[in-house]
Amino acid sequence: MRVVFMGTPDFSVPVLDALVDAGHVVVAVYCQPPRPAGRGKKDRPSPVQQRAEALGLTVRYPVSLKTPEAQQEFAALNADIAVVVAYGLILPQVVLDAPRHGCLNIHASLLPRWRGAAPIHRAIMAGDAQTGVCIMQMEAGLDTGPVLLREAFDIGVEETTGELHDRLSALGADLIVQALDQLDQLSPQVQPEDGVTYAAKIDKAEARVDWTQPAEVVDRLIRGLSPFPGAWCDVAGERVKLLGSRTVPGNAEPGTVLDGFTIACGAGAVEITRAQRQGKKAMSAEDVLRGWDLGTRMS
């Protein structure tokens, strides 16, 4: 098939590779423009742009798809279908309608749960037992379109957003190839009205750990915000990112250091398994604690 691919971050790269490996003709790749990054703040191409250029594909990164010029360029590709995954721009109806089979979105949740920007983070933070991927026919609403394929799996008890991200990206790549192979046989399923939730973009104000919360809530926050933006707490005046954790028995004043890197919560305790001090790399808790005294309390 003649495919337009639309994606930007690391999550999207395995999908692009899968489409190329499956023999589809990727007529153009759309992604976000290069952004300033690193210490020098030089413009850095997105992961998708870098991969597309390495594959010798045509890359476009319009600031908007609302202009007549951008829409005409898109329509002129004469695509059979567009595959969209974490692209970052709203597609106007004229763009949605341009490919012969419309636009398919790869969404990292079990729709209608967790429509929106941060479904992986929110699933872990909410304590969901399962998540998965949906292949959805796009329409004007936010992740409201009918679902063509879906697959679910269990979330690990110590799994972080970073780890779940990689599993969902690989699953999305597999499912979109299946969907394109079976497109004529698939029956779109309208999303139910019940069970709709929205995965709001992560606000950095959410990232500070509140030790008065139950251990389960603190653990889910730490794992859900790992590796980015990273839950954090104050240790003797130093902001420390907490990047891995598990719940353990414990009973003391919230914020009390019980043993090693185990901290008392409002109910129960959390053992930190991975952390990052200011100006240092992320490390296992054992390495972080080597030569460093946490003191008796965290805030």
Q: What confidence tens digit (pLDDT) does each residue in 66-83 have?
A: 999 999 999 999 999 999
Which residues fall within 8 angstroms of residue 122, CB to CB, at 6 or more apart? 114, 197, 199, 200, 224
Q: How confident is the model at residue 39 (pLDDT cuts 50, 70, 90)?
A: confident
Helix 13-21 with 161-181: angle, nearest 10 deg: 30
Helix, strand or coil for residue 289? helix
The model's confidence at residue 36, banded by pLDDT at 50, 70 and 90, is confident
pLDDT digits (tens, 9 = 90+) for 117-148: 999 999 999 999 999 999 999 999 999 999 99
Q: pLDDT (tens digit, 9 = 90+) per residue, 12-33?
A: 999 999 999 999 999 999 999 9
How many angstroms separate the CA atoms of 144 and 193, rounded? 10
CA distance 222 to 226: 6
- One-letter amino acid at 130 equals Q
Q: Which residues contact 206 (CB under 8 A, 6 or more apart)?
A: 221, 225
Residue type, 288: V
Check residue 100 and report its DSSP letter.
T
**Predicted local confidence at residue 285, as pLDDT:** 95
Q: What are phi and psi of 277, to 5 degrees?
A: -80, 160
Residue type, 85: V
Single-letter amino acid, residue 212: T
What's the rounded mean pLDDT across residues 244-261? 96
For range 249-255, the mean pLDDT: 96
Residue type, 176: I
Q: Say yes or no to pLDDT of 43 above 80.
A: yes
Rounded to whole angstroms, the Cα distance separating 270 from 249 reads: 8
Q: For residues 188 and 150, is the Cβ–Cβ distance under 8 A?
A: no
Torsion angles phi and psi, residue 142, rounded to 5:
-75, 100
